[in-house]
Amino acid sequence: MGMAAEVVRVAAVGDLHCTKTSQGTLQPLFAAINDSADVLLLCGDLTDYGLPEEAQVLAREIVPTLKIPVVAVLGNHDYESGQPQEVQRILTEAGIQLLDGDGCEIRGISFAGVKGFAGGFGQRALEPWGEESIKRFVHEAVDETLKLERAIARMRRRSISCCCIIHPFAPPSRVRSPRSSPFWDRAGSRSR
């Protein structure tokens, strides 16, 4: 008989929107997660306006409460103030593993992540033609998808189970890759 697979409990939370006045409000959530999960995924919009002060509040909520690994991606709100590197530095110093086109391994599971970008998948896609702003928009969405695809490919070479995290910001407009991509096709079929 083979060995039984280890059960790894994964909790995922998105859109925390931590503000300067959130001190003490997230600790009960994190305490419950700490008691019931082995890994926590934070799926973007960790801060409300992407301010370093908000990231510091979040770090103070996480550090004394969570004893499990935390993996995160930034979301569009975390970029709002133009200081995503500072937000990332603060959260990384607090022990959070931030992903952006890369991955990490925890308890035999590989996690890959990207910040994500506005758009979606499937038919009725916004095409990369017309105004330059539309072309840039589509290009950014495709770049994020390809970053995630490359991270997943690196994990598959190691034959490890994998999990992907992205910020789920996807307004009604749809974006289609100009390339054919197995990941894009799989993601498209799941997003409907």
Confidence of residue 157 (pLDDT cuts 50, 70, 90): low
Confidence of residue 191 (pLDDT cuts 50, 70, 90): very low
| Mode of pairing for the β-strands spanning 102-106 and 109-114 | antiparallel
pLDDT at 120 (0 to 100): 52
Rounded Cα distance, 151 and 157, in Å: 10
- Could you name the CATH architecture of 9-98? 4-Layer Sandwich (3.60)
Contact 177, 139 (CB under 8 A): no
Contact 114, 146 (CB under 8 A): no
pLDDT at 155 (0 to 100): 80
SS3 label, residue 96:
strand
- Hey, which bits of the chain come out as E strands? 10-13, 39-43, 70-73, 96-98, 102-106, 109-114, 125-126, 161-166, 174-175
pLDDT at 139 (0 to 100): 85
Instruction: Examine the pLDDT at 10 and tell me if it is beyond 60.
Output: yes
pLDDT at 172 (0 to 100): 36
Rounded Cα distance, 96 and 22, in Å: 18
The residue ranges of every structural domain in the chain are 9-98, 102-192
Portion of the chain with pLDDT greater than 70, in percent: 73
For residue 41, what are its two tokens? 């995924």
Instruction: Examine the pLDDT at 132 and tell me if it is beyond 60.
Output: yes
pLDDT digits (tens, 9 = 90+) for 26-50: 999 999 999 999 999 999 999 999 9
| Mode of pairing for the β-strands spanning 96-98 and 109-114 | unpaired
Output the average pLDDT for the chain.
81
